[in-house]
Amino acid sequence: MSASDDSSPVSSDPVVAADPGAPDPDLFDKIVNLSKRRGIVFPSAEIYGGFRSTYDYGPVGVLMLRNVKDAWWRSMVQKRHDVVGLDASILSPPAIWEASGHLANFTDPLVDCRSCGSRHRLDKLEDPDTCPTCGATGQFTDPRQFNLMFKTHAGPVEGAGHEVFLRPETAQGMFVNFANILYTSRKKPPFGIAQIGKSFRNEITPGNFVFRTREFEQMELEFFVPPADATTWYEYWCQTRLQWYLDHGIPAEKLRLRAHDADELSHYSSGTSDVEYLFPWGWDELEGIANRGDFDLTQHAEHSGEKLEYFDQANNERYVPHVIEPAAGATRTMMAFLMAAYDEEQVNDDTRTVLRLHHRIAPYKVAVLPLSKKPDLVGPATELFSDLAETWMCDYDETQAIGKRYRRQDEIGTPYCVTYDFDSLVDQAVTVRERDSMEQVRLPIAELHAWLAERLT
Ligand code: GAP
């Protein structure tokens, strides 16, 4: 007996694809529900009533988030001879943030509504006079500048001299290690330092699920270039980063590159473009690519007293490299991948939910499913799992009917299901079912590894 999707042969499944142009008004809720139901993202500290706007990545989500970060690292570090990696500390002294300008400038304008007590970011209000919570007009307090950095203290003594900050971006770790890396890696401009890690911002209005949270992960590159080449590299990185999202399965019509207006630019930037995704609430930022000039190295050189320059022996010239910075959010990007991949289609009388994720982003690459729980099948199926798991992240599931198991794998985006059935004991072959088409092929187990490698590499 061979596996089939539900109980009927897959080839006769009438598949009615959803209209790709029609935005689903419930997409946001569907993603939040799917995330909870399938172990992708849970609200944090839920048994204590939750801890607002913090999230935990469950067994499936932790794999997906790791894949997002691995895909970024692969493109930005592994495949480039001109980029090296770094893992800098999260706790950092005030001196860094004094030099970077964050102590003075990393603020949002905060207003309170006198009528209902709610708090808002003035620059994000549709109508700066009307409270979006209670509708009262003219009830806002004067705006106060609120610094977004989380402050704590190092060691047992609190107070001045012991204050430290949780980094609000990974970028400064790269700047303060510029000289260390220049001398130890033997790189010369143009070259980059890349880092993935947690950042913390005391956002006034976190929200939209994992889009804006107080604890999140960033994937940042600081690319150091000769000053005369900064514009060329800025344009290069804008295009390269846009292409990365396309290459990993985000459709072109949901992506755009938007140059900042002069009044939007950060204090350090002479030019910034955002890669934006069309979220259910409209276009919003996935990543910013900034031309930071020599701001960072100059500031840290002045504040630390260390020389942060490059001596170009060929031209007998000393200069402060300029920095091009593509700065992305790992958690926010994962949310965009979830939204772009989510699909529902009618299969017979059933609605099939499927995450059409790029195989590099999919949490599991392969699921091994013995057709029955009988030890005759479970033994060889678990052996097959162990063999495939040497190469790929695999799931193993022996519960419920095979059709239900296929649907569960569809919901978490597993590209291939491998079913070990009673015939497998005789013919040493398995049925491989592809997620998007639901097509099935019968393959000798001896050829399975090569067949999967061709499709998953
Ligand atoms: N070093 C520059 C920098 O940090 P940013 O635009 O503030 O630039 C870069 O942050 C990326 O980090 C954003 O494009 C976004 O993807 C992500 N990010 C920023 N704040 C976030 C938050 N509160 N929650 C989730 N992701 C965030």
Sheet with strand 91-92: strands edge to edge: 91-92, 163-166, 150-153
Same domain, 178 and 291: yes
Show contacts of 230-236: CB within 8 Å, 24+ apart. Answer: 230/291, 230/293, 230/322, 230/324, 231/271, 231/291, 233/190, 233/324, 234/271, 234/289, 234/291, 234/324
**Phi, psi (5° rounding) for residue 110?**
-110, 135
Q: Which two tokens stand for residue 209?
A: 């699920």
The pLDDT, as a whole number, for residue 263 is 87
Residue 117 is assigned to a structural domain of this protein: no
Q: Which of 105, 169, 170, 196 has most ligand 1 atoms within 8 Å of its beta carbon, as the pocket-test mutant?
A: 169
User: Could you tell me the distance, in angstroms and rounded to a whole number, from the CA of residue 201 to the centre of ligand 1?
Assistant: 9
Q: Which domain holds residue 407?
A: 364-456
What is the pTM for the complete model shown? 0.92
Which ranges of 162-255 would DSSP assign to H, the alpha helix? 171-176, 178-185, 230-247
Ligand 1 contact via 276 beta carbon (within 6 Å):
no
User: Could you tell me the distance, in angstroms and rounded to a whole number, from the CA of residue 422 to the centre of ligand 1?
Assistant: 52
Ligand 1 contact via 323 beta carbon (within 6 Å):
no
The pLDDT, as a whole number, for residue 51 is 86
Residue 323 is assigned to a structural domain of this protein: yes
| pLDDT band at 371; cut points 50, 70, 90 | very high
Is pLDDT above 70 for 67?
yes
| pLDDT band at 2; cut points 50, 70, 90 | very low
**CATH number of domain containing 451:** 3.40.50.800
Q: Residue 54 and residue 45: Cα distance in Å, rounded?
A: 8
The pLDDT, as a whole number, for residue 437 is 97
Q: Which two tokens stand for residue 15?
A: 């598949």
Ligand 1 contact via 222 beta carbon (within 6 Å):
no
Across all residues in the chain, what is the average pLDDT? 93
Q: Residue 156 and residue 154: Cα distance in Å, rounded?
A: 7
Q: Which of 97, 102, 332 has most ligand 1 atoms within 8 Å of its beta carbon, as the pocket-test mutant?
A: 332
Same domain, 50 and 156: yes
Same domain, 54 and 184: yes
Three-state DSSP string of 295-346: HHHHHHHHHHCCCCCEEECCCCEEECCEEEEEEEEHHHHHHHHHHHHEEEEE
User: Could you tell me the distance, in angstroms and rounded to a whole number, from the CA of residue 304 to the centre of ligand 1?
Assistant: 26
Same domain, 283 and 410: no
Residue 400 is assigned to a structural domain of this protein: yes
Residue 393 is assigned to a structural domain of this protein: yes
CA-nearest residue, atom 18 of ligand 1: 329
| pLDDT band at 14; cut points 50, 70, 90 | very low
Q: Which of 106, 193, 285 has most ligand 1 atoms within 8 Å of its beta carbon, as the pocket-test mutant?
A: 285
Is pLDDT above 60 for 19?
no
The pLDDT, as a whole number, for residue 270 is 84
Is pLDDT above 70 for 273?
yes
Per-residue pLDDT tens digits for 102-119: 999 999 899 999 999 998
| pLDDT band at 22; cut points 50, 70, 90 | low
Amino acid of residue 107? T
Ligand 1 contact via 288 beta carbon (within 6 Å):
yes
User: Could you tell me the distance, in angstroms and rounded to a whole number, from the CA of residue 202 to the centre of ligand 1?
Assistant: 12
Integer distance in angstroms from the first to the last C-alpha of the chain?
Answer: 31
Residue 303 is assigned to a structural domain of this protein: yes
Same domain, 158 and 280: yes
Per-residue pLDDT tens digits for 290-334: 999 999 999 999 999 999 999 999 999 999 999 999 999 999 999
Sign of CA dihedral 143, 147, 148, 151: negative
Same domain, 58 and 203: yes
Residue 180 is assigned to a structural domain of this protein: yes
Residue 136 is assigned to a structural domain of this protein: no
Q: What is the mean pLDDT of residues 3-11?
A: 37
| Residue at which a domain ends, from 301, 321, 338 | 338
The pLDDT, as a whole number, for residue 25 is 85
Same domain, 416 and 279: no
330-339 burial code (b ≥16 CB/10 A, e <16): bbbbbbbbbb
Is pLDDT above 70 for 396?
yes
| pLDDT band at 6; cut points 50, 70, 90 | very low
CA-nearest residue, atom 20 of ligand 1: 212
Is pLDDT above 60 for 7?
no
Same domain, 378 and 452: yes
Q: What is the mean pLDDT of residues 28-50?
A: 96
The pLDDT, as a whole number, for residue 15 is 41
Is pLDDT above 90 for 24?
no
CA-nearest residue, atom 22 of ligand 1: 212
Same domain, 218 and 330: yes
Are 164 and 93 in contact, with CB atoms under 8 Å apart? yes
Per-residue pLDDT tens digits for 171-229: 999 999 999 999 999 999 999 999 999 999 999 889 999 999 999 999 999 999 999 99
H or E segment and range at residue 285: strand 282-293
Same domain, 378 and 288: no
CA-nearest residue, atom 8 of ligand 1: 327
The pLDDT, as a whole number, for residue 162 is 85
CA-nearest residue, atom 10 of ligand 1: 327
Count how many domains the chain has. 2
Residue 67 is assigned to a structural domain of this protein: yes
- % of the chain exceeding 90 in pLDDT: 87
Same domain, 396 and 264: no
The pLDDT, as a whole number, for residue 21 is 57
Ligand 1 contact via 215 beta carbon (within 6 Å):
no
Same domain, 330 and 396: no
How many Cα atoms within 13 Å fall on the side-chain side of residue 89? 7
| Residue at which a domain ends, from 304, 338, 372 | 338
Ligand 1 contact via 286 beta carbon (within 6 Å):
yes
